[in-house]
Amino acid sequence: MMDPTLGEAAPNRTVIALTGKDALRFLQGLVSNDVRPLEHGPGLVWAALLTPQGKYLADFFIARDAEGQLLLDIATPLAADTLRRLAMYRLRADVQLQPTELQVLRGLGDAPEGALPDPRHPALGWRGFSTLPGQPPRIDWDAIRVAHLIPESGIELVPDDSYILEHGFERLHGVDFRKGCYVGQEVTARMKHKTELRKGLVRVEVEGSAPVGSEILADGKPAGVLYTQAGGQGIAYLRHDRAGGTLTAAAARLRLA
């Protein structure tokens, strides 16, 4: 485990321990990404759990630490429902899922001993786990997310509503199209290979003020939603065919960044 003085506390995260000889195989058949690299040693994989209709339910990191422990790092508001759903899929598999008291730490720069690079984007630095809380947050993580169009659980990523390809999971290494079957795989593969995405995340410049979740209008017509904002820019979920109009959200004017 990490020295807690080396990282910031990541708020509102729950860490679940997975044990049992079938744990990785169990996850492999459920989540959007390939977890088999974790068979060979420490690593961190970002993945999503989907409905059979391909809609997002939860995203989380699956970690194998230096001691060989398999951990699931998930947003706390999604943890209880995700645990229930995973238990439903468990059937006779030799898998046990148990919430822990571990704390999630994160930081920028070189990863300290025991930490792992965030697999989504190099700008997100590293993540690690400790029995003690880390340092108070100082880094503007929202600004980093806005700059690199990185969605967050419960903000841009909405359970039973979002589609992961519209929210950048391919670009951010959260989905694998060669791994084989998982829940929601058929719809996700069809969106990848047989359709053109008509909506998605874009970065916009924000002039004025608009609450997170404000509806975006393009020339007065519904066009999307404005989410996280930092430094005069924001993440918007936008219909591509209406991105060229005059965009407004609440009291703000928007334009593509």
Q: Is 4 strand, coil or helix?
A: helix
Listed as ranges, residues in the chain with pLDDT below 70 are: none
Query: How far is Cα 127 from Cα 226, in angstroms, rounded to an integer?
Result: 28
Query: How far is Cα 243 from Cα 49, in angstroms, rounded to an integer?
Result: 29
User: Taking the model in full, what pTM does it have?
Assistant: 0.95
Query: How far is Cα 187 from Cα 195, in angstroms, rounded to an integer?
Result: 11
Beta strands in 93-186 (DSSP E): 96-99, 103-107, 116-117, 126-130
Q: Is 241 strand, coil or helix?
A: helix
Give Cβ neighbours of residue 136 (< 8 Å, ≥ 6 apart): 8, 9
Q: How far is CA 148 from CA 85, 102, 124, 143, 195, in A?
A: 31, 28, 9, 9, 25
For residue 24, the one-letter residue type is L
Domains (range + CATH), the chain: 4-146 (3.30.70.1400), 198-257 (2.40.30)
209-232 as b/e: b if 16+ CB within 10 A: ebeeebebbbeeeebbbbbbbbee
Query: How far is Cα 9 from Cα 19, in angstroms, rounded to an integer?
Result: 25
Query: How far is Cα 243 from Cα 239, in angstroms, rounded to an integer?
Result: 6
Placement of tokens 């004025």 in the chain? 208
* pLDDT 10s digits, 191-215: 999 889 999 999 999 999 999 999 9
Give me the pLDDT at residue 5, please. 77
Give Cβ neighbours of residue 63 (< 8 Å, ≥ 6 apart): 38, 42, 43, 44, 45, 70, 71, 72, 73, 116, 127, 129
Query: How far is Cα 196 from Cα 241, in angstroms, rounded to an integer?
Result: 12
Average confidence score pLDDT of the chain = 95
Give me the pLDDT at residue 163, please. 98
Give me the pLDDT at residue 1, please. 73
